[in-house]
Amino acid sequence: MSRKYELRSGVRSIGFRDASTAQEALTEYVRSIGCRDEEVVRLGPDALCWRGAIFRAVPASTDT
């Protein structure tokens, strides 16, 4: 089942992705900006590091 995640770099929102897991959303995002898998350090189920930048994914708010 897919869920919408908000992607963040620090406190800045950098986009939204539909994915099964937060890690999948992050992986799809960094690949889309040219990152290779061997450059990524996974920090947990909802975070990864690429070239010193830490990216996080949180479930997107359903507020309208």
How deeply is 40 buried, as exposed, middle or buried, from its count of CB atoms within 10 A (0-12, 13-18, 19+)? Answer: middle
Read off the pLDDT of residues 1-59 as tens digits, 9 standing for 90 and up. 889 999 999 999 999 999 999 999 999 999 999 999 999 999 999 999 999 999 999 99
The pLDDT of residue 64 is: 47
The pLDDT of residue 1 is: 82
